[in-house]
Amino acid sequence: MVTEETKAGTPTQDCRQIWAWLEQVPDPELPAISVVDLGIVRDVAWEREDDEEEDGAATCVITITPTYSGCPAMEVIASAIREVLQARGVARIRLETRLSPAWTTDWMSAAGRDKLRAYGVAPPAWQAIDTSAIKLHWRPRRQSVDCPRCGSANTECVSEFGSTACKALYRCKDCLEPFDYFKPH
Partner 1 sequence: MQKALFQYALRLGDNALILSQRLSQWCGKGPALEEDMALTNVALDLLGQARLWLDYAGELEGAGRDQDSLAFLRAPHEYYNLLLVEQPNGHYGDTLARQWYFDVWHSLLLQRLAGSAEPRIAAIAEKSEKEARYHLRRSSDLVIRLGDGSELSRSRMQQSVDDLWMFTGEMFVGDDVDAVLVAEGIAPAPESLRAPWLETVGEVLREATLTAPAPDAWMQKGGKQGVHGEHLGHLLTEMQWLQRSYPGAQW
Sites of contact with partner 1 (CB under 8 A)? 66, 68-72, 99-104, 128-129, 131, 134, 136-141, 158-163, 165, 169, 183, 185
Positive or negative torsion for Cα 65, 166, 79, 25 = negative
- Segments in 40-156 forming alpha helices (H): 74-87, 110-119
Closer of 126 and 161 to partner 1 (Cβ): 161
Q: Min. distance of Cβ 66 from partner 1 in angstroms?
A: 7
Closer of 73 and 84 to partner 1 (Cβ): 73
Closer of 95 and 169 to partner 1 (Cβ): 169
Q: Min. distance of Cβ 128 from partner 1 in angstroms?
A: 8
Q: In what order do the strands lie in the sheet with 178-182?
A: 121-122, 178-182, 167-172, 155-159
Q: Min. distance of Cβ 147 from partner 1 in angstroms?
A: 19
- Cβ of 26: how many Cβ atoms within 10 Å? 17
Name the 3-class secondary structure at 125. coil
